[in-house]
Each structure stands twice: as structure tokens, then as C-alpha cells.
Amino acid sequence: SAVISQKPSRDICQRGTSLTIQCQVDSQVTMMFWYRQQPGQSLTLIATANQGSEATYESGFVIDKFPISRPNLTFSTLTVSNMSPEDSSIYLCSGHQGNQETQYFGPGTRLLVL
């Protein structure tokens, strides 16, 4: 299994600013993902964080709005850029180890944009 931590756990931000969320895994994972859970909604996949290359974004999500880095097998960042109140959500990262079918999730980052 893998233990995943995220920083910050929560934040309140002003519109127009940007926030970078960090995700740290305690062991190497082959794949890392970023999800969003808006109020009353399910988890929606934003992108797959690829090590050493550009992330793969799902429909409706773009790199300019959600730039992602993954410099190594245990760390990734998601930036929420030029925030608006609609970006208020919980952002979760997850890791998948290639020989297992499960994903392990971080505790999430609660973001409120005023």
C-alpha cells in the first residue's frame, strides 16, 4: 500500500490568485492522478500526472488552468490558476502501483475561493 499526504489541507483564497497543492507519496507509484470533488458531486478526474512529461488532461480541463508537475515517482503538484469561486472544491491526489488494481488517495485539499 501507499500513504499519501497533501499540503495544504485547506485554504481560503482570493479570486484571481493561484494556489499550488503538493502531493507526496511514501513509496514509488507508477501513476498519479488529480481529482476534484465539487460540493455535492462525485470525484472527477482532472488529469494523469506523468513523470518527466506533460500531464494528460481529461475533457474540460486544460493545462493553463491546472498546470501539473511530477518531477519524480513520489511527488506531484497541481496548481489552480486564476481562481474563481467556481474552483471551490476538494482536490485529491491519488497513486496507483502497477501491480495492484487499487488507487490510494490523499486526504484532500479543501479550497474556498472568495
- By the rule CB under 8 A, 81 interacts with another protein: no
- By the rule CB under 8 A, 106 interacts with another protein: yes
Number of residues that bind another protein (CB under 8 A): 22
- By the rule CB under 8 A, 48 interacts with another protein: yes
From 83, 94, 111, 113, residue interacting with another protein (rule: CB under 8 A): 94
Q: Of the two residues 40 and 85, which places its CB atom closer to another protein in the complex? A: 40
The 3-class SS string of 2-61 reads CCEEEECCEEEECCCCCEEEEEEECCCCCEEEEEEECCCCCEEEEEEECCCCCCEECCCC
